[in-house]
Amino acid sequence: MKIIEELTKQHGLSQKEIGSYLGFDETRMSKFKNGKLQLTDLQFKHLDDLKSFKEMDQPLELKFDYVRMRFETTDVGKIINEVLLLDLDWLEPVEIGWYGYKNHIAFGDIVIMYDIEDKKLGVLLELKGGGCRNFEQILAEQKRSWFDFFTLALEHDGIMRRFDLAIDDKSGILDLPFFIEKMKKSECDTTFRRYNVYSDSENKKWEDGDKQMGSTLYIGSRKSTIYFCLYEKDYEQYTKTGVAPRYHRVRNRFEIRLKDEQAEVALKEYIKNDNLEALAFGIIVRYMCFHDKKKGVDLKESPVNKRWEMFIAATQSVMKLTTEPEEITLEDTWRWIEKQVASTLRLLNYIDPRRLTDTVNEATLSIKQRNILKSHNKELAEVMR
């Protein structure tokens, strides 16, 4: 088999390691090594993923994916001006909030919540995935890094409430169905007591016969201060954009989700060592490891699964913190209109174009929409101090 020959000769893998990567037990491994086992199309696909993993310079990327930080002050202007280094006058307050806060200010997906009367609540900064990408655009303009921002935030007595790291797998080595099956076979040595699997519950197929939605694996309780979430990122993006999974750059994602004291400890370790990659690696290996269970041998003593071993090794060696600065744009809105609304708008335009125009002109813009409008009329530099 050409691909196996390439993996053994060009990349130095043994047949035993390739068999472990494919999840073969001892019987199938023996047949595989003796050439008596025919590989399925899916197994050949897994070997293609392995080849891609070996040939990519950076098959894994590390990102900040969620930040929630509280400041024990009622002076929201001080936090915006001195920590975020933004101009408070340029942001628009709205009398609405979450987590018990009465107000919030937003710029794109960057959200600041506050209560001028309750110091216990203080000021809360929340950056979800889109907020992290918007904030990276601002950090780039400010010539600052995440490390610089967090250092300044701690100097202003910031307390980390949630801290999510995302490892993006571009090669497919972190195959979700493979690891879900190993979880079901109790081949994961973990301190977590529970896991949950969510997979395609629909029978719909698209033209090339692939599944409609991807799989998600939660390891640990979502109510705890630490748990992991693994999912097929390409399928998640397919449901959002309508673009088939094979065209997406990222195949799978491994999220480390930390809250409260776990988030505080992780941030302090990051500031102490300035090495986010080592922090992510340390957290994963501390809590879990996949093995190939051998008969009559304890799971901890069984060999580590080769696919998992390669993933973990890559988090130490080739994984780097990456940023994806993202301006506040209307691209998501345009995609939604093209996919969901355009045909209805065309129908309304035929039937009653004047009413359609009046309805659009009389609509009230949300704060996010007003910020997008502002960003189209002002340079980002005007937002920053």
Rounded CA-CA distance 333/345 in Å is 14
In this prediction, residue 78 carries a pLDDT of: 93
Residue 293 to residue 301: CA distance in whole angstroms: 9
DSSP secondary structure, 215-247, as one string? -EEEES-TTSSEEEEEE-HHHHHHHHH---GGG
Are 307 and 20 spatial neighbours (Cβ–Cβ below 8 Å)? yes
Q: What is the pLDDT along the chain (385 residues), one digit of tens a residue?
A: 678 888 888 878 888 888 888 877 777 777 776 777 788 888 888 888 888 888 888 899 999 999 999 999 989 999 999 999 988 776 766 656 678 888 888 887 889 998 877 778 899 999 999 999 999 999 999 999 999 999 999 999 999 999 999 999 999 999 999 999 999 999 999 999 999 999 864 333 333 445 556 899 999 999 999 999 999 999 888 887 778 888 888 999 999 999 999 999 999 999 999 999 999 999 999 999 999 998 899 999 999 998 999 999 988 887 888 887 776 665 666 766 776 788 888 888 899 989 989 898 888 876 666 666 665 555 555 555 5
One-character DSSP codes across 295-307:
TTS-GGGSPBPHH
Q: How far apart are CA 233 and CA 235, in angstroms?
A: 5
φ/ψ region of 131 (left if φ > 0, alpha if ψ in -120 to 50, else beta) reads alpha
Q: What is the pLDDT of residue 206?
A: 36
CA angle 9, 11, 15 (to 5 degrees): 65
Assess contact for 69 and 164: CB atoms under 8 A: no
R_g of the chain, CA atoms, integer Å:
24
All structural domains of the chain with their residue ranges:
1-55, 331-382
Coil, helix or strand at residue 63:
strand
In the prediction, which pLDDT does 47 show?
85
Q: Which of 312, 264, 267 is nearest to 285 (CA)?
A: 312
Contact 45, 133 (CB under 8 A): no
Give the separation between CA 55 and CA 74, rounded to whole angstroms.
52
pLDDT of residue 207: 38
What SS3 class is residue 41? helix
